[in-house]
C-alpha cells in the first residue's frame, strides 16, 4: 500500500500504537536476522546496541509465534511490519522523548527515517491482563 501512495506522490507515515522499544525489535530492512526460534527473541537483537533489560518474555513471543501459524495468508505479522516500516516516509510512535529517548533515536537510525513521538495516548484493550503484561515488560 505504501508503494502505491509513493508512486502517486502521496506522503505517508506509519502510526504505531506499539511503544518504540517494542517496535525496535522488528527487523530493520537492512539487517540480517537469524532469529528463528521463540527463545531467540528473549534476548536483545544485534541492532540494539545499548544495554537494556527490555526483551520479550517467552510466553509473549509464543503468542506471537502462535498467531503466525494461525494466519491463513501465510504472511507473518513480522514480515508485514518490516514491509510497512520499509515503505513509509516517517514513523509516528505512541511514545515520548521523556519516556524512551534511546529507543526513538534507535528507530530513526535502524529504519533511516524520522520518528515522531505523538505522546502516550490511551490504549483501548479488551483484555486488561494482556495490556498489563505488555506494559510490565517495557517499563523494566
pLDDT of 74-128, one tens digit each?
A: 777 777 878 888 889 999 999 999 999 999 999 999 889 999 999 987 766 555 4
Q: Is 32 strand, coil or helix? A: coil
List CB contacts of 15: < 8 A, sequence separation 6 or more: 92, 118
Q: Is the pTM of this model over 0.75?
A: no
Pick from 30, 50, 60, 41: nearest CA to 105: 50
Is pLDDT larger for residue 140 or for residue 125?
125
The pLDDT of residue 140 is 46
C-alpha cell at position 66? 502462535
User: How far apart are the two ends of the chain, measured CA to CA in Å?
Assistant: 35
Tell me: the pLDDT tens digits for 47-66? Answer: 998 999 888 899 888 877 76
Cβ atoms 54, 45 nearer than 8 A: no
pLDDT of 135 over the 50 cut = no
Amino acid at each position: 500500500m505504501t508503494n502505491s501512495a509513493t508512486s502517486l506522490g502521496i506522503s505517508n507515515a506509519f502510526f504505531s500504537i506499539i511503544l518504540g522499544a517494542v517496535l525496535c525489535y522488528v527487523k530493520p530492512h537492512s539487517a540480517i536476522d537469524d532469529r528463528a526460534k521463540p527463545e531467540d527473541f528473549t534476548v536483545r537483537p544485534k541492532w540494539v546496541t545499548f544495554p537494556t533489560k527490555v526483551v520479550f518474555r517467552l510466553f509473549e513471543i509464543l503468542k506471537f509465534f502462535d498467531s503466525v501459524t494461525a494466519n491463513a495468508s501465510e504472511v507473518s505479522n513480522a514480515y508485514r511490519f518490516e514491509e510497512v516500516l520499509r515503505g513509509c516516509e516517517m514513523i509516528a510512535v505512541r511514545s515520548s522523548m521523556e519516556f524512551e529517548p534511546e529507543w526513538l533515536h534507535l528507530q530513526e537510525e535502524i529504519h533511516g527515517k524520522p520518528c515522531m513521538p505523538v505522546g502516550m495516548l490511551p490504549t483501548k484493550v479488551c483484555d486488561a491482563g494482556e495490556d498489563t503484561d505488555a506494559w510490565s515488560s517495557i517499563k523494566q
